[in-house]
Structure 1
């Protein structure tokens, strides 16, 4: 299959690992799952996907921790002042962090919509760097292995066994289900913030 003058496999091999790195910097589970499924189909190496995803997520979270450590108080004050509806949810999050520091650090990357801001908050609360780094690496290993294994499993068990028409139909259905889910999540979050 051709895409913008490239064969699909060539396009994925040229840009796939860059997409994995960029996706791992943000809430990019969809990119990691897709890349892992493509690895199951032979377009990428699952080991490279895992290493890049791990390095990207650790780099992003460690960097955001330092942003929070040095500028977090100002960022939190700004958000509370500029978005008054965020004050209660942020205070609840901060209270949870104070009471369950280890659980928070180990799980924040698995919770949609708080992944990017969490390391900033953790740094702002002056959680010791060594503790955060140690737990961050463990959580990154768990996240990477879980996300990549799930994507690889999807590629192995579902995508490999479909012909082209079924793959397109499956992609459209998954895209629609994901869009509906994200829309409902967005509406729910908006109603909570009001």
Structure 2
């Protein structure tokens, strides 16, 4: 089975799962794949948005219903969790909307929100809106990135598109992490 057939057959599932587990890199790759016509743009964006929404809801309900479990208590003691809780207390609706865009807080934030007094319906509504925007934006970044690569280098084999996209996404994550550390240290 060729790489293209593998992506065409399982790509949407990979974007759905990757959006919930890993995040931006997989969703950007979904955009690259949609540029290559292995899936449509909207299929990739919907898979990304749905995967992100469902994963965040699961983490929210974990915080809401498993807050006394030793593993959750251990997570709640971490500094990143404390930062998420402080941001949530100061700006509840804004934080619920923005946490998926904040490096280092994406996975633990829904657990912290679940452990708070935020009503489930409010979290679901704001989480759904944020997931749609996040999934569409990062899929679009991948789509435009694929377009840019093609304009610069010409039509490349898919595996080279993927390698360039992964390398760029990793570089962006590292740059964001370094910037975040510098800002936090200041």
Q: Tell whether the structures are fold-level matches, with TM greater than 0.5.
A: yes
The answer for unaligned runs of 5 or more in structure 1 is 1-5
TM-score of the pair, normalised by structure 2: 0.80
2:46 is matched with 51
CA distance in 2, matches of 1:21, 1:173: 18
Q: Deviations over 1:133-171 (max 9, x none)?
A: 111011111101111111111112323652448x84994
Q: 2:73 aligns with which of 72, 77, 98?
A: 77
Distance 1:145 1:157, change over 3 A: same
CA distance in 2, matches of 1:118, 1:71: 15
1:182 is matched with 174
Structure 2 residue 37 is the aligned partner of structure 1 residue 42: yes
CA distance in 2, matches of 1:106, 1:52: 19
TM-score of the pair, normalised by structure 1: 0.77
Deviates more, 1:108-117 or 1:176-185: 176-185
Contact 1:33 1:148 in 2 (8 A): yes
The answer for unaligned runs of 5 or more in structure 2 is none
1:109 is matched with 100
Distance 1:140 1:176, change over 3 A: closer
CA RMSD of superposed structures (Å): 3.1
Distance 1:160 1:171, change over 3 A: farther
Matched positions, count: 180
Q: Deviations over 1:49-107 (max 9, x none)?
A: 111111111111111111101123545532366xxxx34x4333312211100111011
Structure 2 residue 55 is the aligned partner of structure 1 residue 64: no
Distance 1:148 1:77, change over 3 A: same
